[in-house]
Structure 1
Amino acid sequence: MQKILYINVSRIGDTLLVSPAVRAVATAFPDAEITLLGHPKRSEIFRHLPFVHHTGSINKQRAPWMGWFDRNKYDMAFVCGYDTPLLKYALRVSKKVVAFRQDSNDINAKLFKVVEPPAFQAEHAVDIQLRLPAAVGIPPAGRALAYQVTEAESRWARAELARTTPPPSSPLIGLQVASFPTKAYRDWPVDHFMALTDKIRSGWPDAHFLIFGGTEETVRTNQLQQHLGNASTLYAGRLTLRQTASLMNEIDLYIGVDTGPTHIMSALHRPMIALYHGYSPSRCLAPLEHPCAYIVDHPLADRDCSTEAPMSDITVDRVWQAVTRALSEHPPTPR
């Protein structure tokens, strides 16, 4: 049995964007044992995927101390990114290593395949990652993101919603109001979210909103929850990553900006509306092969847009049109 290692240390979204490449490797080598190492706080994303046999954590601080007694443990390793300690670890534990071209000529000389990265925003992020398996002749096996909610997690989510959402609570809509602080230009104004939810409640008086997010956007999520009152449940900063995903898997519609939870929703293949800034347009990051994704791009997408362009340029009416279409084409589940 071949043993294959995949290393991807990144944020939630970039972690999920690698899943089609890992699926491609697993499809090409159906009898191989695949181990996937990720960021200590994000490796749980890959748990329970049917094509990943083992998951674990690694980072550039721990990597120099790892693998000294496991030389040639793997037949091949694929390394995403450019962290030298991760590359050196892979070179210790694998007979062959495939990676993007590094700044170090010494490391490049030791790689089995050196993969040229594309120009900035020349390709979708999924296709960039598919370059690694393609370098050894492995074709894509789909470009959709992958995430697996377990039955136990689904039971927890249904019980949690029964506890926190008064009947009928339909449609059940998830909201992600902010990206992470270094990408704050992607954030749609909270007052736009308020105006949008007002429109939704005018058309669907029984709508209930689940407010997702982390601790960084507490002020905004609290403002939105106060605006919605009993028509909402505030989960921002209160859930684990996998609990968030299990709740997302139960909602009728998701509305969010470009950030990690939006990529999780992309992998669940449920109705979703995603808002993209012009500097990070949907053609580079939007869900692929998704049956019910409704994309709203900034008006300046692909027009030499800078991070200074405000997300408020995406009007409430544009997102409202996407909401009405999504709920019309995918009617909510009665509760």
Structure 2
Amino acid sequence: MELELRHLRIVCAIAELGSITKAANTLGMAQPALTAQLKRIERTLGGAVFLRDHAGTRPTALGKLVLDRARMLLPAVSALHDEAARLAQHIHSGEPLTLRLGSTSGPMLGGLVQRLGTLHPETHVAPHASWSANELASLLSDGSLDFAFIGVCGDAPPPPEPGVRWQTLATDPVFVLLSTRHPHAKDDAVELAALADERWCATPGDGCFADCFVSACAKAGFTPRNLYETDVLACVDMVESGHAVVLCQPTFREFPGVVAVPIAGNPLSWRHLIGWSHRGEMGLFAAEMIALSRAVYRELSEHRPSYARFLEANPEWGVSYADSAI
């Protein structure tokens, strides 16, 4: 006899109810038939799954192993059935599929929407922007989003939401955005210590980035004057006017009057992640979304001359092709 899902359901029912008689009633089986079925399961597994005495049934070491695996497999198979049914309903009804994308990274999201529109014109894309990676992770977990694009500082883990998987798309060094009139605007790289007297600015975000920036400044021998957090356009205005310098991604959109310059030694880094819920039907398209996202990132990098030059000299940065999900 080969082990089947119904056998795992039997083992789980007996363990949860602590009695073969109670499990038989719950499963709608006669108690002798359930006992016989359990014996066949135990023969298949090669040992006793339960110890039976006057106190009821208790799982053996083998039984605990089977229960651990069953409690992972049964919900996963149930979710697969639900996802397949919902997807089939979309297909057969002829209704357009809606893909809900969240992002803390505007350039990545915009490029992806364009590619999806070309490859899947029948799909409706619903974007959602947020500065909070934690918020997007929560929306993935509760099923309000299908995919989310976030960034995390250095080796920091992504937000720990149940049922959410993350895949690294790329890792960037953090650049600094300077006015084209700044003394270091034409440098191949600027020392962090050379910016000790500057006012600093960055877009909002949760996580440890602000703390890591202060730590990097301390290693460079100074304490930053301040770190404003504001929207992208306000950051650009303050840089262009010479009021502040901005910590930015090297794929940052280029604006007149400002330039992105590498920081010598790359003391700060930023990981781009894509996340999805393995309990949602769109998780079936995760591999395609990862491939499209990497393609969008490569295109962004190639269209930023300063970063393209940096990557040519530093190939260890940029797009990541590791396949292990977090």
**Structure label with greater radius of gyration:** 2
Report the TM range for the smaller structure's normalisation: under 0.3
Q: Which has the higher helix share?
A: 2
Greater length-normalized contact order (CA 8 Å, ≥ 6 residues apart): 2
Q: TM-score, normalised by structure 2?
A: 0.27
Normalized per residue, which structure has more strand?
Answer: 2
**What is the TM-score when the length of structure 1 is the normalising length?**
0.26
